[in-house]
Amino acid sequence: GAVVSQHPSWVICKSGTSVKIECRSLDFQATTMFWYRQFPKQSLMLMATSNEGSKATYEQGVEKDKFLINHASLTLSTLTVTSAHPEDSSFYICSARKNLATNEKLFFGSGTQLSVL
Amino acid sequence: GQQLNQSPQSMFIQEGEDVSMNCTSSSIFNTWLWYKQDPGEGPVLLIALYKAGELTSNGRLTAQFGITRKDSFLNISASIPSDVGIYFCAGRRGSRLTFGEGTQLTVNP
């Protein structure tokens, strides 16, 4: 099946620093990628939809200036958490949409655990 | 916003037992999906359902897309210890995917 690579798997950073998370579709082109955040024992909450070559669409309540998304190529989207604070600590997951002949499927990355000290 | 009600929240069963979990929504979805998530990992797709009334199996897993398009269930037969994990339903309308709250499954050997 299709593979989506997410890097890094975990990161610990100091409060106030910025962290970049990469999401790559390894064997298909993805014009659309999605970024989710998941707090412990909770569901995945969509943060934003990343569109190749255009601005990302953010969900209500998600600060676009804090969570910068860049989808510069058909196989790479990045999420940068700027000026991270402890409340940004969470599990971040990306997914990439693969268009098939009869339908489309989403493939998820393995997630990034962010801990902000 | 859009919400999916998933139940039960958790289940503790013995190896070999069958399991059933379901999701309901107040809105219609075009696609229902079931995922399994292991700790520290992203969700992995188990079954995708594309038509109302569709019943699909994947090994010991069976899922159905409700005829009203507002609900779906997942059954796991003859559970084994490696079935342990969190199962999420997800409904899709357009490109937007909404997840249920998850069902934590524990299987005792």
Q: Give B77→chain A minimum CA distance, Å.
A: 24
Side-chain-side CA neighbours of B46 within 13 Å: the count stands at: 28
A-side interface with B, Cβ within 8 Å? 4, 6, 9, 32, 34, 41-46, 49, 60, 91, 93-95, 97, 103, 105-111, 113
- CB distance B48 to B35 below 8 Å: no
User: What number of other Cβ atoms are within 10 A of residue A115's Cβ?
Assistant: 13
Q: Give B109→chain A minimum CA distance, Å.
A: 24
Which tens digits make up the pLDDT trace of A22-34? 999 998 999 899 9
Is the pLDDT confidence value at B72 over 70?
yes
Which tens digits make up the pLDDT trace of A39-95? 988 899 999 999 888 899 999 999 999 999 999 899 999 999 999 999 999 999 999
Q: Least CB-CB distance to A32: which of B42, B95, B98?
A: B95
Round to whole Å and give the CA distance between A88 and A27.
31
Mean of pLDDT values over B82-98: 90
Mean of pLDDT values over B70-98: 93
Residue B25 CA: distances (Å) to CA of A21, A69, B8, B22, B63: 32, 30, 15, 10, 16
Round to whole Å and give the CA distance between B34 and A52.
27
B68-B105-B95-A25 Cα dihedral, nearest 10 degrees: -150
Q: Give B53→chain A minimum CA distance, Å.
A: 18
Q: Does B95 contact A105 at a Cβ distance shorter than 8 Å?
A: no
Q: Does A108 contact B42 at a Cβ distance shorter than 8 Å?
A: yes
Round to whole Å and give the CA distance between B23 and B97.
14
The first and second tokens of residue A64, run together, are: 């676009």
Q: What angle do CA A1, A29, A43 make, to 5 degrees?
A: 65
Side-chain-side CA neighbours of B41 within 13 Å: the count stands at: 12
Q: Does B95 contact A49 at a Cβ distance shorter than 8 Å?
A: yes
